[in-house]
Structure 1
Amino acid sequence: MLESWRWFGPQDPVTLSHARQAGAHGVVTALHHIYDGRVWTPDDIAERMALVKKAGMVWSVCESIPVNSAIKLRNANWRRYVDAWKESLANLGKGGVPVVCYNFMPVVDWTRTNLLFPTAAGGLALRFDMVDFAAYDLFVLKRRAAEESYASDIVETARRRFEAMGEAEILTLETNIIAGLPGGEDSHTRETIRGQIASYDDLSFDDMRANLVEFLREVVPVAAENGVRLAIHPDDPPFSLFGLPRVVSQADDIRTILGAVNDPANGITLCAGSYGSREGNDVVGLASDFAEHIHFAHLRNVTKEPDGSFIESEHLGGDVNMVSLISVLRREERRRLAAGRSDAVIPMRPDHGHLLIDDQEKVVNPGYSCIGRLKGLAELRGVIAALDQFHAEGSLTK
């Protein structure tokens, strides 16, 4: 597997030198400063590529070209944004970027309610608390018909929790949910998010899925023509937020995506933490079922709770059997190599490491500090080495 590292560009406090010292060879980055639907020009891409090469690394994955809401809504402006997206995609391929990860989440990107949740070991983790989210949706945002989105016991628990919150707690919660997290393109205020949510009022789950299919029919041929593998990222978390339709959350969604355009360029990002956050998703089973379509892997872990809450766990802890998952991915890589495929090596990256040691005193992007990801990458590397020895020798004790 190609050990990679997410980097948010020259302003990222975790540098490419740090990534290289952590043992990464691939860089997962994007032109995050160009997020408003403008075309990423060849010069823009070449400038970023030069920085990566200068660090002695390769730009393994672009994560992500923003998919404008006009495309998801398929409104009057969708053609302009689709055409710009396709041009950026073509320019990335011509510029030497082999994989483009993207998502189709409406209004909010990956969402957490607590960015500094204490772990038993003393680290700080990302957490999604369903009751806190409901409290914000119901009693701060006061979204119309919000109560229909939650079980009655969640509503009552959320009411009590909201009543116990001070203004500072409410502001922190709101900032965590809607102010934008690393890699997301949208940052909202309370008023703007109300308007964005309302724009989806007449869009059903089936409508959203149909709009995704139309988007794929537009962009997959461009990817194939320019040597790019598309890898759609699952919804995070993989269930409805704010009553909005989320259509990349489980196996049936993957089958729809792959069936929409039957082309090797049309594939998925296997994000273990995202798929693992939904009750009923068997992440190892998903990886096995759709192995030949996996173009990119996010190897992180979560521990779920009965009400839909979850915490980002240690990379080798949590509900996802990471050893079994990596075994599936390595088996797929060997199959591709035997078939002579050019994409035999799957880029992967550790994701959402805990905030550890003196990183707790630094200003870092939530989930993207250095030490936590370094630790995670080292653990994953060890699993890969052990599995490879077992495969080669038939035993770990020889």
Structure 2
Amino acid sequence: MKMIFRWFGEDDDSVSLNEIKQIPGMTGVVSALQDIPVGEVWPKNKIKELKNKINQAGLELEVIESVNIHEDIKLGLPSRDKYIENYKETLINLADEGIKVVCYNFMPVFDWLRSDLARELEDGSTTMSYDKDWINNTDPVKLVEEFDKESKGFSLPGWEPERLAELKEIMKQYEDISEKDLLDNLKYFLEAILPVCEENEIKMAIHPDDPPWPIYGLPRIVTGKENLRKILKMVDSPYNGLTLCSGSLGSNPENDVPALVREFGVRVHFAHVRNLKFDGEGKFHETSHLSTDGSLDIFKIMKAYYDSGFDGYLRPDHGRMIWGEKARPGYGLYDRAMGAAYINGLWESITKMNS
């Protein structure tokens, strides 16, 4: 297992590379070129500049999160071929700079979704939460406006302005797109890019839908065991893999996260580990990583990774805001650093118990 930490760059992150380097067991960061519009080629010189900056801090850059998929590809429009060719070129440029894994998602219009970015918990910390009733009764345009107010001046990954500028128009384009259509469009994309991935030894790792159920009538396809099986079989290559996010999949109680790890372990190229607590049907809030603080058993999840022989990349996922920290919702330093220490402690204990 390689422990890494998400970093948004010097201009858009409250956490510095020096601070990340001080977290015990941290080998590198997962990052991205935040300023490249979706669908455009990532220039090799900008990738190299980002990598050099991270390497100079004593950390590795071997995972990218994310190279976003243009909406035309998800919709299956004729223009998708142009954007797929750009994506291929980006993959080649990334591989040339030593990138091993690309995390991406295939969620229509919206990326991850929450109803509150700063819900206050009993201990005084704040966290992100989801309430299906609030979502269902809130116009999507208003939701975007609320997110902008609560983002504390930081950009929110997956909520880039250029993707949401014509929100209602894009949503209308999906009215006739079914789950099957979206799966077919994903297959078309994967069939096109995976030969490039295999030739350049760069693995694709699709991230689950967050949360894993339809939102505003939009189809969602990366939701649980059956669809994960379909996606891995549609192009059966070791370079077609998963980002297994315990929080995204685990927000549906029907998803047994340790069982998913055990079934798909060899095809899990990137692991996101976090905890959450159920507040009712379709309602949850994020917690510390500690098993007893939430509804997911992080020990069982890490034991499943160990038993599966996992040797990929893992990052502590969303944390609370604690100790007065001001940061991008979910991405402060303190709670994620504690999460990394907790995960490393579990991994050491499991390893020694089995030696």
TM bin, normalised by shorter chain, reads: over 0.9
Task: Give TM-score, length-normalised by structure 2.
Answer: 0.93
Q: Which of 160, 172, 184 in structure 1 is aligned with 2:146?
A: 172
1:4 counterpart letter in structure 2: I
The question of 1:381 aligning with 2:344 is answered yes
Q: Equivalents in 1 of 2:175, 2:149: separation in Å?
A: 24
Structure 2: unaligned runs, 5 residues or longer: none
Question: Which residue of structure 1 lines up, in the alignment, with residue 121 of structure 2?
Answer: 119
The question of 1:93 aligning with 2:56 is answered no
Question: Which residue of structure 2 lines up, in the alignment, with residue 49 of structure 1?
Answer: 51
Q: Which of 361, 371, 375 in structure 1 is aligned with 2:334?
A: 371
Task: Give TM-score, length-normalised by structure 1.
Answer: 0.83
Q: Equivalents in 1 of 2:285, 2:162: separation in Å?
A: 24
Deviations 1:202-223 (A, max 9, x none): 1111101110111111112211
Give, in angstroms, the shift of residue 279 of structure 1: 2.9
Question: Which residue of structure 2 lines up, in the alignment, with residue 104 of structure 1?
Answer: 106
Deviations 1:319-366 (A, max 9, x none): 221111111112223xxxxxxxxxx6211001111100030xx3x111
Give, in angstroms, the shift of residue 73 of structure 1: 0.3
Aligned length: 350
Q: Equivalents in 2 of 1:56, 1:243: separation in Å?
A: 45
Q: Which of 287, 295, 314 in structure 2 is aligned with 1:348?
A: 314
Give the conservation status (yes or no) of the 8 Å contact 2:109–2:163.
no
Give, in angstroms, the shift of residue 119 of structure 1: 1.5
Match runs of 1:129-208 below 5 Å: 129-137=131-139, 172=146, 182-187=156-161, 192-208=166-182
Match runs of 1:272-311 below 5 Å: 272-311=246-285
Give the conservation status (yes or no) of the 8 Å contact 2:63–2:103.
yes
Question: Which residue of structure 2 lines up, in the alignment, with residue 315 of structure 1?
Answer: 289
Secondary structure of the 2:272 match is strand
Cα 1:171/1:47, change in 2 over 3 Å: closer
Q: Equivalents in 1 of 2:162, 2:81: separation in Å?
A: 24
Give, in angstroms, the shift of residue 181 of structure 1: 5.8
Secondary structure of the 1:290 match is helix
The question of 1:209 aligning with 2:175 is answered no
Q: Equivalents in 1 of 2:150, 2:282: separation in Å?
A: 18
Q: Equivalents in 2 of 1:352, 1:86: separation in Å?
A: 30
Q: Equivalents in 2 of 1:113, 1:282: separation in Å?
A: 24
Give, in angstroms, the shift of residue 381 of structure 1: 1.1
Q: Equivalents in 1 of 2:8, 2:335: separation in Å?
A: 16
Give the conservation status (yes or no) of the 8 Å contact 1:112–1:176.
no
Secondary structure of the 1:125 match is strand
Q: Equivalents in 1 of 2:183, 2:240: separation in Å?
A: 16
Deviations 1:139-164 (A, max 9, x none): x759xxxxxxxxxxxxxxxxxxxxxx
The question of 1:330 aligning with 2:273 is answered no
Secondary structure of the 2:318 match is coil
Taking only the aligned residue pairs, the percentage that are identical comes to 35
Give the conservation status (yes or no) of the 8 Å contact 1:64–1:102.
yes
Give the conservation status (yes or no) of the 8 Å contact 1:45–1:92.
yes
1:321 counterpart letter in structure 2: D
Deviations 1:94-136 (A, max 9, x none): 1101111100010011111111111122211110111111120
Give the conservation status (yes or no) of the 8 Å contact 1:200–1:244.
yes
Give the conservation status (yes or no) of the 8 Å contact 1:271–1:298.
yes
Q: Equivalents in 2 of 1:259, 1:67: separation in Å?
A: 20
The question of 1:225 aligning with 2:190 is answered no
Structure 1: unaligned runs, 5 residues or longer: 143-168, 334-343, 393-398
Cα 1:194/1:174, change in 2 over 3 Å: farther
Question: Which residue of structure 2 lines up, in the alignment, with residue 20 of structure 1?
Answer: 21
The question of 1:7 aligning with 2:7 is answered yes
Q: Equivalents in 1 of 2:97, 2:173: separation in Å?
A: 36
Q: Equivalents in 2 of 1:224, 1:376: separation in Å?
A: 34
Give the conservation status (yes or no) of the 8 Å contact 2:128–2:286.
yes
Cα 1:204/1:222, change in 2 over 3 Å: same
2:31 counterpart letter in structure 1: T
Secondary structure of the 1:218 match is helix
Cα 1:79/1:237, change in 2 over 3 Å: same
Deviations 1:225-276 (A, max 9, x none): 1111111000011111110001111111111111011111111011000000
